[in-house]
Amino acid sequence: MTTAEAPSHLRENPFELAKAQLRRVGEVFAIDPNLIGVLSQCKKGVEVSIPVSMDDGSINVFLGYRVTHNIARGPSKGGIRYHPDVTQDEVKALAMWMTWKCALMGLPFGGAKGGVICDPKHLSRGELERLTRRYTSEIINDIGPERDIPAPDVGTDGRVMAWIFDTYSMNKGHSVLGVVTGKPLSVGGSLGRVEATARGAMYTIQAMAQKQDKRVDEYTVVIQGFGNVGAHLARLIHGQGAKVVAVSDSRGGVYNPKGIDVPAALAHKQEAGTLEGLANAEAVTNEELVELPCEILAPCALEQVITERNADRVKASVICEGANGPVTPTADHVLEDRGVLVLPDVLANAGGVVVSYFEWVQGLQEYFWREEEVNAKLHDISVRAFEETWLTRERQATSMRMAAYGLAVQRVAEATTTRGLYP
């Protein structure tokens, strides 16, 4: 563990954790150590400086990254994160996880991730636009529909994607729809993309419920994070009749053992910009929220929220990883020993990149699908990946995480071997 490099919300270096996970997968699935050695490194990474004219007349220089982990199965794919704690090693870990996620879902993509060290909550719209356009122009030769395709992640949204799309297109002299996904509908986005990550998580929960001979409305759910993933998951799962007893955003959470009024929470967040002060609910901290009694705990915010420090106090019997990397490997062991079922990130939050794939295909064909079509195709892919993971878990007598990562790494390893090492 190199704490010196670990950003403030992370106690352990995420890239070291991702590499340790990969080594473990190599052992469990008897994958050639030479290949594991190749897959342990990121293919390419750029670090760029992003000078931005601020509204007060000063110039701030931000630092940005774009990392491609692997392209054996196709162009690299992955979001761009705007957050004050971003580090290069975090971006590398997230890029590696994207490779596994795309392979597990059977998408013709490799993995990538980008990040800019900034606090988008404290930037004006103009500052955010100038930062995004300059960042895009700094990485313009590294991205493209056949090369590397960004998307939203923590701190970025459709607006940011529209600026990336426009900056890239203006430089090419024509609209290039396939350069970025998660775009607004007016500029070639896909129906269903905004809520796709949450919808994929819900399909995964439904598939798991079937295995447990239960219905979704029999579960009590706690959701950490009320951004794109958490808020939509709360809405969708509430719509399925599940009892959502607690939700939180970065400032803290709200809890009612009888059930949160989810539509009221969504409206309150929309109006007040926070969940604080929601009626008929008591305030809890994000740390307390993780330990609340419930059946399903869905961490949908950042990495490393369930660690060796609190894993033994988690009451949930199922953890649905809406975020990337919310459970550390040490916590994984504790949870596994306690019989807690972890639906891993590369499976549970893959709905976003699956519909990103649909958006990319629609953009390349300039032919757009109905929302029901998008959702039905997402359902098929999510359920297939769940069933394959479940079967592998049973065959190997291992965890869902190991099964998912194992399937994914084997697919990437196979593509690498079939192509052969160049030159």
Rounded distance between C-alpha atoms, residue 215 and residue 208, angstroms? 10
Strand ranges across the sheet with 282-284:
282-284, 252-255, 243-249, 220-224, 296-299, 318-320, 341-343
Q: Check 92, 101, 113, 243 and give the catalytic one.
A: 113
Rounded distance between C-alpha atoms, residue 93 and residue 222, angstroms? 26
Alpha helices in 193-257 (DSSP H): 196-211, 228-239
Judged by CB, which is closer to ligand GLU: 189, or 253? 189
Minimum CB–partner distance for residue 252 and ligand GLU (Å): 24
Judged by CB, which is closer to ligand GLU: 68, or 356? 356
Rounded distance between C-alpha atoms, residue 178 and residue 200, angstroms? 22
The number of C-alpha atoms within 13 Å of 82 and in the hemisphere containing its C-beta is: 21
Query: Quick check: 69 and 96 in contact, CB under 8 A?
Result: yes
Instruction: Using DSSP bridges, classify how beta strands 59-70 and 44-53 pair: parallel, antiparallel or unpaired.
Output: antiparallel
Contacts of 356 (CB under 8 A, 6+ apart): 77, 149, 151, 181, 182, 190, 193, 196
Query: Quick check: 112 and 68 in contact, CB under 8 A?
Result: yes
Minimum CB–partner distance for residue 310 and ligand GLU (Å): 24
Judged by CB, which is closer to ligand GLU: 95, or 242? 95
Which whole-number Å values give the CA distances from 34 to 60, 260, 390, in the listed order? 44, 51, 28
Minimum CB–partner distance for residue 258 and ligand GLU (Å): 33
Binding site for ligand GLU (CB under 6 A): 77-79, 101, 151, 153, 181, 324, 349, 352-353, 356
- Output the CA angle 18-111-63, nearest 5 degrees: 80
211-216: Cβ within 8 A, 24+ apart: 211/390, 215/241, 216/240, 216/241, 216/242
Minimum CB–partner distance for residue 293 and ligand GLU (Å): 29
Minimum CB–partner distance for residue 392 and ligand GLU (Å): 21
Minimum CB–partner distance for residue 342 and ligand GLU (Å): 17
DSSP code at position 79:
E
Minimum CB–partner distance for residue 280 and ligand GLU (Å): 33
Judged by CB, which is closer to ligand GLU: 151, or 207? 151
For residue 302, how far is the Cα from the chain centroid? 9
Judged by CB, which is closer to ligand GLU: 324, or 389? 324
Alpha helices in 105-172 (DSSP H): 125-138, 158-172
Instruction: Using DSSP bridges, classify how beta strands 252-255 and 243-249 pair: parallel, antiparallel or unpaired.
Output: antiparallel
Judged by CB, which is closer to ligand GLU: 324, or 362? 324
Minimum CB–partner distance for residue 154 and ligand GLU (Å): 8
DSSP code at position 55:
T
Judged by CB, which is closer to ligand GLU: 256, or 328? 328
Judged by CB, which is closer to ligand GLU: 114, or 253? 114
**Closest residue to ligand GLU in the complex (CB):** 79
Q: Is 377 a catalytic residue?
A: no
Calculate the dihedral angle through the C-alpha atoms of 148, 153, 157, 160, rounding to the nearest 10 degrees.
-40
Q: Which residues are catalytic?
A: 113
